[in-house]
Structure 1
Amino acid sequence: MKPVHIVLSGGLSRRFGEPKAFALWKNKPLYQWCKQAFGGEALILSRPGLTDRFRSYGEKKVLEDVEPFEGKGPLAGIYTAMVREEGDVYVILACDTPLIRKSTISALKEQMTPADDAVVTVADGRAQPLVAVYHKRVKHILYDQLRRDELKISCFLERIRVKYIEAHVIGAEPWEFINVNKKSDLDKIETIFSE
C-alpha cells in the first residue's frame, strides 16, 4: 500500500497566538519535527497566508484546502490530500505533535489491514485521530460530511471501520501524543523529552 504522509498545519492557532507550525522548539519549527517522524518527506496542508511561508522554508509540497471546503478543519485537510495526492493510505500528523517518533509512525502503518478504514492510536485513554492512518476509500464519507458541514472528527470516525490501537501495543509512549496548544506547552515538553 502506497502511503501519503500529511502534516496538518492549517489551523488558526488561536490559543497559541501565532501560527504554531513555525514555533521553534530546539531550534526547529514544530512542523519539521512531524516531517522528521515521517522520515523527512511529507505533504504540508496549509491555509492562505501561510503557504508562502512554508515555501520560504523550502517546502515544495504544500496544499491549501480544495474548494468549497476551505477552512473546514482537519477533515478538509485530509480530504484535500486524498483529492490532490494519489495514495492508498494517508498517514496524518497534526503539526502540534512534535514528540511523535519515527518508530511510532512505522508501527502504526503496520497495523493497517485490508479490513480497516482507519487505524487510530489511543494514549492515556484518549483516541488520537490526528495521529492516525486512513484508507483512501473513506474519501466519499469525508466529502459527504464536509458537504453537510458536519466537521466533528468523532462523527466521521463513527461512520467508518476504525481499529483503535493502544499506544503501548505499538511501542509508543504516552508523552509522544502531547499537543502544543499554548506557548507554555513548549516548556512542558522540554521537561519530558530530550533528543
Structure 2
Amino acid sequence: MEHINVLLAGGASRRFGEPKAFVKWKGQMFYEWAKKALGEHTVIISRLEFIDRFQENGENEVYQDAEPFQGMGPLAGIYTAFKKTDGELYTVLSCDTPLIQRRTMLELERLMTAGTDAIVPISEGREQPLIAMYHKRIMPILYDQLSKKRLRISDLLDRISVCYVQAEEIGADQEEFININTRDDFRCLEEKTHSFRRD
C-alpha cells in the first residue's frame, strides 16, 4: 500500500504569536523536527502565506487547503493530503510536536491492519489524533464533515474504525506528545526534556 507522510503546518498560531512551524529550537525549526520523525518524503499542508517560506527552505511538496475548505483546521489538512496525493495510508503529524520520534511513527505504521481506518496513540489518558495514521477510505466521511462544518476530530473518530494504542505499548515516552501552544509551553520545553531519550 502506498504510504504518504503528512505534516500539518497551517495553524494560525494565535496563542503563540508567530507561526509555530518556523520557531527555532536547538538549531532547527519545529516543522523540521516533525519532518525528521515522519521520514524523507513528507507532504506539507499549510497556509497560502507560508508556502513561499517553506519553498525557500527547500520544501517542494507544500499545499494549501483544498477549496472550499480553506482554513478549516486539521480535518481540512488531512482531506487536502488525500486529495493532492495518490496514497492509501497516511501518517499525520502536527508541526508543534518537536519531540516526536521516528521510531514512534514507525510503530504506528506497523500496527495498521487491513480493516482499520486509523491508529491513534493515547498518552496520559489523552487521545492524540494529530500524531496518527489514517486510511484514505475515510475521505468521503471527511468531506461530509467538512461540508457540514463539523470540524472536531473527535466526531471523525466516532465515525470510523480506530485502533487506540497506549504510548507505553509502542515504547514511546510521554514527553514525545507534548505540543507547544503558548510561549510558556516553549519556555518549559527545555525543562521537560532534560532527561528525554532522543533517537
Q: TM-score range by the shorter chain?
A: over 0.9
Which residue number corresponds to residue 43 of structure 1?
A: 43
Partners of 1:179 and 1:161 in 2: CA distance? 25
Q: Match of 2:74, as an amino acid?
A: P
Partners of 1:43 and 1:183 in 2: CA distance? 27
Q: Is 1:104 equivalent to 2:104 in the alignment? A: yes
Partner deviation per Cα, 1:1-59 (whole Å, 9 max, x = no partner): 22110110000001100000000010111000011001233111011211111111111
Partner deviation per Cα, 1:106-146 (whole Å, 9 max, x = no partner): 00100110110000000000000000000010000000000
Partners of 1:150 and 1:187 in 2: CA distance? 34
Which residue number corresponds to residue 114 of structure 2?
A: 114
Partner SS, residue 104 of structure 2: helix
Which residue number corresponds to residue 174 of structure 1?
A: 174
1:125-140 mapped onto 2 (5 Å cutoff): 125-140=125-140
1:22-33 mapped onto 2 (5 Å cutoff): 22-33=22-33
Partners of 1:61 and 1:92 in 2: CA distance? 15
Which residue number corresponds to residue 151 of structure 2?
A: 151
Which residue number corresponds to residue 67 of structure 2?
A: 67
Partner deviation per Cα, 1:132-170 (whole Å, 9 max, x = no partner): 000010000000000111101100110000000000111
Partners of 1:34 and 1:2 in 2: CA distance? 21
Which residue number corresponds to residue 80 of structure 1?
A: 80
Q: TM-score, normalized by length of structure 2?
A: 0.95
Q: Match of 2:184, as an amino acid?
A: S
Partners of 2:176 and 2:41 in 1: CA distance? 20
Deviation at 1:184, TM superposition (A): 2.4
Deviation at 1:190, TM superposition (A): 1.3
8 Å CA contact retained: 2:5, 2:39: no
Partners of 2:22 and 2:50 in 1: CA distance? 10
CA RMSD of aligned residues (A): 1.0
Q: Match of 1:136, as an amino acid?
A: K
Q: TM-score, normalized by length of structure 1?
A: 0.97
Percent identity between matched residues is 49
Which residue number corresponds to residue 183 of structure 1?
A: 183
Tell me which stretches of 4 or more aligned residues in structure 1 moved more than 6 Å.
Answer: none
Which residue number corresponds to residue 164 of structure 1?
A: 164
Q: How many residues align?
A: 195
Which residue number corresponds to residue 8 of structure 1?
A: 8
8 Å CA contact retained: 2:45, 2:65: yes
Q: Is 1:56 equivalent to 2:56 in the alignment? A: yes
